[in-house]
Amino acid sequence: MIDRQQVGFAAVGSLMSILFFMIVNFLTSPSEIWFIYPAFVLLFWPLSLASVRKGYYRLYSVLGSLLVIVFLLTLNYMESPEFPWFVYAMFPFVWWPVTIYSGSKAKTLTFAIISGISLTIYYAILNAVMSPEYPWAIYPTFAVIWWPLALYYVRKKQYYPFSISASALMIAFFITVNLVSSPDTIWAIYPIFAILWWPLSMYYFGDKRIKR
């Protein structure tokens, strides 16, 4: 059990360490602000202990999310203020407290679908506004579709239909990437050939067929 003394020690220890790194930074290499990296990690120490001690997991998700976003925003401003790259990484950390506050609903298929649609729309807008020359949004979209797809079939224990649907998804993904990236070279047939072995092996070597 985490007590108040441990939380206090973590807070004081983090503050002392951050001040130490800050002093060393400005004395040895003032042209490069690097102390913010260990400071970012150290801030999570007392925050995590205090949250676990009180059971404030929802509040922890909000504060932790804000801490990460502020850290990324600071890095963005310091290193490349002309391009707001932090927005690309922001969505998962915004969705962290949303997931925690959803409670048991976060385990449902409906939540998985809503999350997938939200992420797809978010990155599609970023793609269209910030870099419309290449449709890179297909990559996070492909990744996030696996969540509701796997959840639906695994809960029903329909593994063979899952292999068919998942294979179709991967084939569509590789064909799309082939068309938008290098339409003059038909390379998608190579991963597609490998993918087709998944449902084929599931059909011929599934549990029910082996028992027969």
Encode pLDDT of 95-119 as tens digits.
Answer: 999 999 999 999 999 999 999 999 9
**Residue-wise burial string across 23-44, b where 16 or more C-beta atoms lie within 10 A, e elsewhere:** eebeeeeeeeeebeebbbebbb
Place of tokens 């910030």: 130
Q: Give the three-state DSSP class for 29.
A: coil
**What CA–CA distance (Å, rounded) separates 204 from 157?**
17
How many angstroms separate the Cα of 120 from the Cα of each of 35, 115, 141, 144, 165?
Answer: 35, 8, 5, 8, 19
**What CA–CA distance (Å, rounded) separates 167 from 153?**
13
Place of tokens 């909000």: 62
- At 53 the pLDDT is 80
- At 210 the pLDDT is 46
- At 95 the pLDDT is 94
Which residues does the chain have with pLDDT short of 70?
1-3, 206-212
- At 207 the pLDDT is 53
**What CA–CA distance (Å, rounded) separates 75 from 77?**
5
pTM: 0.82
Are 126 and 87 in contact by the 8 Å Cβ rule? The answer is yes
